[in-house]
Structure 1
Amino acid sequence: MLMFGGITLSFIFIVLAMILGGGVGAFIDPQSFLIVIGGTIGATIAKFPPKDLIKGFKTAMLASKGRKDETNLSQLVDTTEELLKKTRREGLISIEGQTTGNDFFDKGLAFMLAAPDARSVERYLSDEIQNLINQAQRGKSVMDALADAAPAFGMIGTVIGLILMMGSLDDPEMIGPALAIALLTTLYGAILANAAFIPMAEKIAAWQSVTVHEQELIALCLLAIKNSQSPMIMRETVKPYLTHDFYKLPEVAE
């Protein structure tokens, strides 16, 4: 839940700055809120069905939570080696009912035991990985659309406020509210885009990369079991997935 923690922290610091600047009341304007929020949601719904908007937020929540079954990749390879040795001695039927604690691995293992050949297993695993990619990309597209729309409607609100202000130059009491619309809509749009929607989109992209990386390794492990590969060949096959680290910074040559 670090993503939502970070978003909350951003809003807390923004509100604190407002309080220190004289109070939150000066930064609240219903008209500006309606322009930015209503316009952003409406424009996004025009691009995507409402159900996709809901799924986009659900995907962001899923990405933020991570997976309860997230497993060390080396541990998955060790488990695969144990299963391989057992099946090479006693046959595939000997690992029926085995579980690893990883949902994707366990689902694939159950399908592999029932599948007639390795090609069927490969097709099934490929479809499952592609489904996850499609879900993540659709969710990111929704967040990207929201991130684009919020500042745009902030600028639209600014133009509206300036027009109202220019039309009220002979009435000093109307200049202040019009100027508030002009400035606050830009503020609302920038906050929503940079403190919420852009982080959500990037979190989904990062979650997709890490999850697909793990699932591709698991697919190779399951195919190795189905094809009764030797443990040594299996380890050589998955080695690129173990040496690549998403979070390791490249070394800079001196």
Structure 2
Amino acid sequence: MIGLVGIALIFIMVFGGYILAGGKMAIIIKALPFELAMIGGAGIGAFLIGNDFSVVKHTAKDIVKVFKGPKWRQDDYRDLLCLLFSLIRIARQSPVEIERHIEAPGESDIFGQYPKIQSDREAIDLICDTLRSASMNYDDPMQVEEILNKRMESSRQHALHSSHALQTLADALPALGIVAAVLGVIKTMGSIDQPPEVLGKLIGGALVGTFLGVFLAYGFVGPFAVKVRAVTEEDSHFYDLIREVLVANLHNHAPPMCVEVGRQNAPAHVRPSFAEVEEALKAIKQAAS
């Protein structure tokens, strides 16, 4: 919602201010389709040249983040802590039983209690791979933490590709606007024998190219890149919590202490309260008994 408000505010303030200052929209409206075709088409073409299909597809998907915001909410962090608590308890009590859950998480009744987490492949793979390694006696906390850090950093950098691609496009748009403006000037020079009122409209139409390139770069594409990056980094905290809890487990802390380590490492604005988590864990213990 806030993204839509921002877009509306940009249009109202830019064009509203222009009109209130006595500007005429007729020149802009007449030149806009042609300038937009040149600048937008060249920008999309450059974007396709500079990125492979997976980045293009990923970017198109990530633009939705500008309007939807982060994927993971406070309730999801609580659910993740509960899920990890249940899995750690099972792993401590029955190493054989935990294999049934980590080898087929899609069929697990434990994972099934948290469908949003179950549907996230990255989270499931991170949990299952780490628990599987521990069951194979690869349980050195320092080594596991180092591997998880490298894995998660690689995933984070991959997730940020769309943000980098959008920022590169934003940097290119003002220059493409100048290209469109130069073509407009060339067109104007071909009509140099026309009266001033005609030349004025032609020059005004040419300058629309410069305006449009800068307007799109700093009003839309650049902010989109910043927002996508911010949301991606915000969502990465969810996977950081998985690392913290599972590494604490390898240090042989009690399951509630592992959960508390993860809870305290969650960002403050999505961190569930101690009482909320404690109540959820009590419900899990009662259901298990």
- TM-score normalised by the chain length of structure 2: 0.66
Deviations 1:62-85 (A, max 9, x none): 454245553454664465445544
Q: Give secondary structure in 1 for the equivalent of 2:193.
A: coil
Aligned partners of 1:154 and 1:188 also within 8 Å:
yes
Question: Residues 122 and 223 of structure 1 are in contact (CA less than 8 Å); yes or no, is this contact kept in structure 2?
Answer: yes
Q: Distance in 2 between matches of 1:150 and 1:231?
A: 53
Q: Is the Cα–Cα contact under 8 Å of residues 136 and 208 in structure 1 kept in the other structure?
A: yes
Answering whether residue 40 of structure 2 is matched by residue 37 of structure 1, we say yes
Give the % identical residues.
26
In structure 2, the partner of 1:25 is: 26
Which residue in the other structure is 2:275 paired with?
none
2 CA distance for matches of 1:106 and 1:44? 33
Helix, strand or coil at the partner of 1:175: helix
Matched, 1:194 2:218: yes
Between 8-17 and 179-188, report the one with greater CA deviation: 8-17
- Aligned to 2:253, the other structure's residue is in SS state coil
Q: Which runs of 5+ in 2 are unaligned?
A: 102-107, 271-289
Amino acid at match of 2:73: E
Deviation at 1:3, TM superposition (A): 3.0
**Gapped runs of 5+ residues in structure 1?**
248-254
Q: For the Cα contact (< 8 Å) 1:83–1:225, is it kept in 2?
A: no
CA positional deviation for 1:234: 2.8
Q: Structure 1 stretch 68-77 or stretch 188-197: which is displaced more?
A: 68-77
Name the SS for the 1:185 alignment partner: helix
Partners of 1:136 and 1:12 in 2: CA distance: 33
- Which residue is equivalent to 2:237? 213
Q: Is the 2:127–2:242 Cα contact (8 Å) retained in structure 1?
A: no
Give the 5 Å matches for 1:74-113.
Answer: 76-77=80-81, 80-81=84-85, 83-85=87-89, 87-91=91-95, 93=97, 96=101, 97=108, 98-99=110-111, 100=114, 101-102=116-117, 103=120, 104-112=122-130
Task: Return the match for 2:157 from 134, 141, 165.
Answer: 134
Give SS of 2:203's match: helix
- Which of 163, 184, 190 aligns to 1:161? It is 184
Change (3 A) 1:105 1:51: closer
Question: Do 1:132 and 1:208's aligned partners in 2 also have CA atoms closer than 8 Å?
Answer: no
2: distance between equivalents of 1:24 and 1:135?
Answer: 43
8 Å contact kept, 1:64–1:203: no
Deviations 1:224-243 (A, max 9, x none): 4466532476367547623x
| Residues 58 and 131 of structure 1: CA distance in aligned 2, closer, same or farther (over 3 Å) | farther
Q: Deviations over 1:119-161 (max 9, x none)?
A: 7986985576345423332101211121112111112233333
Q: What code does the residue aligned with 2:183 have?
A: I
Deviation, structure 1 residue 182: 2.8
CA distance in 1, matches of 2:49, 2:87: 50
Q: Quick check: 2:163–2:226 contact (8 Å CA) kept in 1?
A: yes
- The number of residue pairs the alignment matches comes to 246
Name the amino acid aligned to 2:174: P
1:53 aligns with: 56
163, 171, 179: which one aligns with 1:148: 171
| Mapping of residues 227-238 of structure 1, within 5 Å | 228-231=252-255, 234=258, 238=262
Mapped to 2, the partners of 1:36 and 1:152 lie a distance apart of 9
